[in-house]
Amino acid sequence: MKTYRILMSRTYNTSVEVNFPDDGRDHAEIINDKIEDHDHEIWDLIAEAELFQMNVDNQDWKIQEINKTRTGGLSPDTGPRN
């Protein structure tokens, strides 16, 4: 038996709209900080939008044979042993 790994490369775009009060603050900086800080509220909003907006384009893929060797973890082409 031979085992193969399929690596898919996909691209998609997602947009979300957020509302802030017109209070003079730099809301773009606030949003950027939330994204960089992995703020759960904004990332949950993005993840939910992704599920609805995904327009997946299969750009490329690669198929690799996974060699089963006795070296186990030392071999970069093998996964965990069961």
Q: Furthest-apart CA pair in the chain: how many Å?
A: 65
Give me the amino acid identity at 11. T
Q: How confident is the model at residue 81 (pLDDT cuts 50, 70, 90)?
A: low
Q: Which of 2-11, 26-35, 68-77 has the highest mean pLDDT?
A: 26-35
Where do the DSSP E strands lie in the chain? 3-11, 57-66
User: pTM for the complete prediction?
Assistant: 0.50
CB of 46 closer than 8 Å to CB of 16: yes
Query: What are 18-72's pLDDT values in tens digits?
Result: 999 999 999 999 999 999 999 999 999 998 888 887 766 667 788 888 887 665 5
> Tokens 């186990």 label which residue?
72
Mean pLDDT of 7-13: 78
DSSP-derived 3-state class of residue 18: coil
